[in-house]
């Protein structure tokens, strides 16, 4: 961390600052320039509150040299994280597709979609039981009953299941779920992140609509500092001024995150674009640039889906995507400890 002092700092205040920094077990390198003095802090600066420093009268600017996240940082954990979900390996060269409907509606629906996506090659099943909807008048999900139907579909297909949690009080209901999804709107629900950090269950953490990749990794830090290191990161579009798509898919997140962290990186082209016809090309692009997996909405009857029908693929369209990915995957970009390797 670098602290740039204002010209001619008050000596008492400077001495107080130096004392305080030393009390945090930091070493200080002083570099006197023509217009300003610079303090270089050496040691573990992740405990320093950067805003507090900025507020000091004698400080002009503070800049971090190192990232404020540690557990998720590839610098300190160079090897890719790999873990299994009911026997399905995730991370480091594997490629998994999580598919299923936005909402679980009926036993017939979720089981039919599960069978279809499995036949096409999906390795995990998604389905929403608790649904975050902008309008209180929209369908809110089947909740507990939805979870039961999802587990029923798992029993029939043996696909591990991924489903979203909306509040930490629901954690007990998710005991049998294989991967707990934390949605974009909850990426900075820190109370929830802390609780999830104490579980030993894989988590799929979606990037918030207005959150930077560094903030995503800070949210990971909440989970990992609790002891849970089985985390899948998922980019699902950010909010921009463009209205041709529901959000703007930030596909560069794949190589950026691969460099910054050792965790697996998935892409959700369904929520990112919001338009079914755009999902297949973006799914292929994500696979080609080396994402570790995809999350895709599939519904057996999109026009009558109770939510997000507009972005759901039919099982037939999904099968087309899976066939395309099968062809592209052998020639996809790979990553060696975060560095892209051309096919």
Site residues for its own copies, window 154-173 (CB under 8 A)? 166-169
Q: Which is nearer to its own copies, 26 or 153 (CB)?
A: 26
Q: How far is the CB of 283 from its own copies (least distance, A)?
A: 9
- Binding of its own copies by 105 (CB under 8 A): no
| Residues 216, 205 contacting (CB under 8 angstroms) | yes
| Residues 276, 302 contacting (CB under 8 angstroms) | yes
| Residues 340, 290 contacting (CB under 8 angstroms) | yes
Q: Which is nearer to its own copies, 110 or 182 (CB)?
A: 182
Residue ranges in 122-141 that form contacts with its own copies under rule CB under 8 A: 130, 132-140
* Rg over CA atoms, the chain: 23
Residue ranges in 233-272 that form contacts with its own copies under rule CB under 8 A: 238-245, 248-252, 254-256, 259, 272
Cα distance between residue 148 and residue 173, in whole Å: 10
- Binding of its own copies by 4 (CB under 8 A): yes
Residues that contact its own copies, how many (by CB under 8 A): 118
Q: Which is nearer to its own copies, 163 or 189 (CB)?
A: 189
- Binding of its own copies by 281 (CB under 8 A): yes
3-state secondary structure of 218: helix
3-state secondary structure of 205: strand
Q: How far is the CB of 68 from its own copies (least distance, A)?
A: 6
Cα distance between residue 203 and residue 181, in whole Å: 6
Q: How far is the CB of 80 from its own copies (least distance, A)?
A: 16
Q: Which of 125, 129, 153, 282 binds its own copies (CB under 8 A)?
A: 282
Residue ranges in 58-77 that form contacts with its own copies under rule CB under 8 A: 60-61, 63, 65-66, 68-69
Cα distance between residue 38 and residue 60, in whole Å: 10
- Binding of its own copies by 337 (CB under 8 A): no
Cα distance between residue 216 and residue 221, in whole Å: 9
Distances (CA, A) of 305 to 104, 222, 302: 10, 35, 5
């Amino acid at each position: 961390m670098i602290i740039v002092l204002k010209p001619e700092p008050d000596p008492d205040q400077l001495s107080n600052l130096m004392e305080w920094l030393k009390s945090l077990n930091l070493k200080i390198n002083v570099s006197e320039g023509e217009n300003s003095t610079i303090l270089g802090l050496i040691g573990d600066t992740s405990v320093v509150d950067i805003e507090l420093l900025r507020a000091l009268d004698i400080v002009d600017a503070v800049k971090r040299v190192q990232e404020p996240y540690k557990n998720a940082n590839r610098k300190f954990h160079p090897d890719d994280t790999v873990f299994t979900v009911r026997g399905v390996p995730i991370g480091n060269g594997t490629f998994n597709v999580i598919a299923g409907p936005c909402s679980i509606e009926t036993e017939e629906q979720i089981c039919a979609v599960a069978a279809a996506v499995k036949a096409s090659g999906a390795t995990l099943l998604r389905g929403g039981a608790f649904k975050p909807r902008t309008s209180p008048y929209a369908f809110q999900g089947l909740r507990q009953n939805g979870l039961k139907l999802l587990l029923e579909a798992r029993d029939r297909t043996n696909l591990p299941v991924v489903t979203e949690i909306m509040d930490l009080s629901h954690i007990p209901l998710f005991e049998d779920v294989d991967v707990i999804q934390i949605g974009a709107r909850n990426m900075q629900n820190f109370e929830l992140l802390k609780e999830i950090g104490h579980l030993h269950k894989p988590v799929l953490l979606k990037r918030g609509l207005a959150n930077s990749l560094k903030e995503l990794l800070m949210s990971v830090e909440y989970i990992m500092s609790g002891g849970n290191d089985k985390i899948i990161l998922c980019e699902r579009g950010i909010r921009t001024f463009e209205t041709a798509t529901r959000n703007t898919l930030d596909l560069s997140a794949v190589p950026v995150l691969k460099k910054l962290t050792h965790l697996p990186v998935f892409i959700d082209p369904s929520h990112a674009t919001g338009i079914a016809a755009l999902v297949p090309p973006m799914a292929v692009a994500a696979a080609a640039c080396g994402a570790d997996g995809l999350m895709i909405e599939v519904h057996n009857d999109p026009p009558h889906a109770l939510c997000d029908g507009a972005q759901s693929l039919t099982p037939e369209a999904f099968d087309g995507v899976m066939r395309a990915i099968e062809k592209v995957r052998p020639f996809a970009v790979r990553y060696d400890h975060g560095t892209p390797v051309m096919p």
